[in-house]
Amino acid sequence: MLGIVRQKVGAKCINSSVKQSLPRTLDAARRFSSAAKQMTVRDALNSALDEEMSADPKVFLMGEEVGEYQGAYKITKGLLDKYGPERVRDTPITEAGFTGIGVGAAYYGLRPVVEFMTFNFSMQAIDHIINSAAKSNYMSAGQISVPIVFRGPNGAAAGVGAQHSQCYAAWYGSCPGLKVLAPYSAEDARGLLKAAIRDPDPVVFLENELLYGESFPISAEVLDSSFCLPIGKAKIELEGKDVTITAFSKMVGSALQAAEILSKEGISAEVINLRSIRPLDRDTINRSVRKTNRLVTVEEGYPQHGVGAEICASVIEESFGYLDAPVERIAGADVPMPYAANLERMAVPQVEDIVRAAKRACYRSVPKSATA
């Protein structure tokens, strides 16, 4: 225990010098963001596909309505006209069929990008994704690479019922051989999709339908055609000292809103955008928890065997001595998604849920006995 105290003291000495320069850094970031170009997540994905197809003739797209209809969500808009039907291939409604074709094409050195209209439909093709794409490199002793991307909207949208509202981050994140990415912002979408297409291994790319039309500030560096983000590296969206909040995809926005509310009550939250589900950036998470001594995980998926559960296990294994409060998990309700709008809202994590969890972790919530 004394060793941990020493580590804390040393860490605080280091952090004090960092904090002195932090206000200047934040001011510069605010000035930059106010002048930065805005880009929607939809346009970020479209531009990433366009540039990677232009740079590498082995990259091609396939899926339902990706060509003539220009994508169910217009992610592939304009690409059929530019690259032709050989590289932007409309498929029948048969996920098992076109996913198998994509994996076979990757075996032969092409770089397919397979679009699922929703990741719920990927269940029709899960044998190809897990047993063919994810395992072939290992089972061939490294002789076969499978450079393929499976992309599309994941998680809850609005009013689409139980069969179309599932989050597959934990499903695919549990499978060795896959890389699993979940972008939040336009920068995430552009940089991670480019990295996924260039990667020699199969990548599951989990987007969010409700984020497609959201605009984010984007820098000239991100707009450069050579830009890509490292797979397996999280981003600290907001620095703080009292509690760590981890989130991915749409929940990053909710975590940032919660952090703003908490700041007005004197709680400084550090928000981590995971970006990568597998590999998971355990180092960044544990460094943050060792600084804040508290953890709240946020995800839309089910709580049992979820991404948050894995993060909690990692922190317990590596940073247990630094925790000053029990870890808090915020997740979707452990039920099939209701169709009714009022029940759907109750089944999906809300900003107020995150705020309450952070307050509990900081021992700032009102005891239940006081409200009885």
321: three-class secondary structure by DSSP: helix
Tokens representing 327 are 């870890």
- The reported pLDDT for the residue numbered 158 is 87
- Statement to judge: residues 248 and 147 lie in one domain: no
For residue 178, the domain's CATH number is 3.40.50.970
Residue at 175 is within a domain? yes
- Statement to judge: residues 118 and 168 lie in one domain: yes
335: three-class secondary structure by DSSP: coil
Model pLDDT for residues 113-154, shown as the tens digit of each residue: 999 999 999 999 999 999 999 999 999 999 999 999 999 999
* Cα separation, 307 vs 221, whole angstroms: 31
Which residue in 271, 237, 272, 291 sits closest to 16, CA to CA? 291
Please give the residue range of the domain that contains residue 50.
Answer: 38-223
Contact criterion met (CB below 8 Å) for 274 and 281? yes
Q: Return all residues near 274 (Cβ < 8 A) that are at least 6 apart.
A: 182, 234, 246, 247, 248, 280, 281, 307
- Statement to judge: residues 202 and 103 lie in one domain: yes
Burial state string for 335-371 with b = 16 or more CB within 10 A and e = fewer than 16: eebbeeeeebeebbbebebbbbbbbbbbeeeeeeeee
Which residue in 164, 97, 153, 148 sits closest to 125, CA to CA? 97
- Statement to judge: residues 192 and 273 lie in one domain: no
Which residues does residue 236 pair with via DSSP β-bridges, in sequence order?
272
- Statement to judge: residues 265 and 247 lie in one domain: yes
Model pLDDT for residues 162-181, shown as the tens digit of each residue: 898 999 999 999 999 999 99
Contact criterion met (CB below 8 Å) for 260 and 222? no
Contact criterion met (CB below 8 Å) for 248 and 277? yes
Alpha-carbon radius of gyration of the chain: 21
Contact criterion met (CB below 8 Å) for 292 and 8? no
Q: Return all residues near 44 (Cβ < 8 A) that are at least 6 apart.
A: 186, 187, 189, 190, 193, 218
| Amino acid present at 368 | K
- The reported pLDDT for the residue numbered 33 is 45
89: three-class secondary structure by DSSP: strand
Q: Which residues of the chain have pLDDT under 50?
A: 1-34, 368-372
- The reported pLDDT for the residue numbered 20 is 41
- The reported pLDDT for the residue numbered 26 is 42
Beta strands in 182-294, from DSSP E residues, in sequence order:
203-207, 215-218, 235-238, 243-247, 269-273, 276-278
- Statement to judge: residues 249 and 327 lie in one domain: yes
* Cα separation, 179 vs 368, whole angstroms: 43
Number of independent structural domains in the chain: 2
- Statement to judge: residues 157 and 172 lie in one domain: yes
Residue at 228 is within a domain? no
Residue at 144 is within a domain? yes
Residue at 184 is within a domain? yes
Model pLDDT for residues 76-97, shown as the tens digit of each residue: 999 999 999 999 999 999 999 9
* Cα separation, 4 vs 99, whole angstroms: 50
* Cα separation, 370 vs 372, whole angstroms: 6
132: three-class secondary structure by DSSP: helix
Domain final residue pick, 179, 204, 223: 223
| Amino acid present at 359 | K
- Statement to judge: residues 240 and 352 lie in one domain: yes
- Statement to judge: residues 176 and 49 lie in one domain: yes
* Cα separation, 146 vs 38, whole angstroms: 34
Model pLDDT for residues 218-227, shown as the tens digit of each residue: 999 999 999 9
- The reported pLDDT for the residue numbered 18 is 39
- Statement to judge: residues 299 and 237 lie in one domain: yes
- Statement to judge: residues 202 and 257 lie in one domain: no
Q: How many helices (H) and strands (E) does the chain have?
A: 15, 14
- The reported pLDDT for the residue numbered 369 is 46
Domain final residue pick, 202, 223, 244: 223
Residue at 271 is within a domain? yes
Residue at 111 is within a domain? yes
Domain final residue pick, 183, 201, 223: 223
- The reported pLDDT for the residue numbered 202 is 98
* Cα separation, 361 vs 296, whole angstroms: 8
| Amino acid present at 370 | A
60: three-class secondary structure by DSSP: strand
- Statement to judge: residues 26 and 51 lie in one domain: no
Q: Which residues are catalytic?
A: 95, 164
